[in-house]
Amino acid sequence: MSAPTKRQLSGAQRRSLRAMREKLLNMAAEWDGVDQFCMSALEDLACACEQAAMDLMIEKDESQ
C-alpha cells in the first residue's frame, strides 16, 4: 500500500481536527454556568482546532 497523498493526509487530519473541535465544544458546554473561564478556554481551543483545519486546506493545484 502506498503512502497517502498530501490531499488524503490533509483531509484525514481536517476531519480529526473537526472531531476534536466538536468534543471541545461539548466539554465547554458542560462548564456553562459553572466556570466561565474554563468554558472560554475550551471554546478558544475549539476555535484553534478549526483554524488549524482551515490551514490544512490544499488547493487542487497543490494536491500532487
**Is-above-0.75 flag for pTM?**
yes
pLDDT in tens, 2-43: 898 989 999 999 999 999 999 999 999 999 999 999 999 999
Q: Grid cell 484525514 — which residue? A: 12
Query: Does residue 1 carry a pLDDT above 80?
Result: no
Query: Does residue 61 carry a pLDDT above 60?
Result: no
DSSP helix/strand/coil, 35 = coil
Total Cβ atoms within 10 A of residue 56: 15
Residues 6+ apart with CB under 8 A from 29: 39
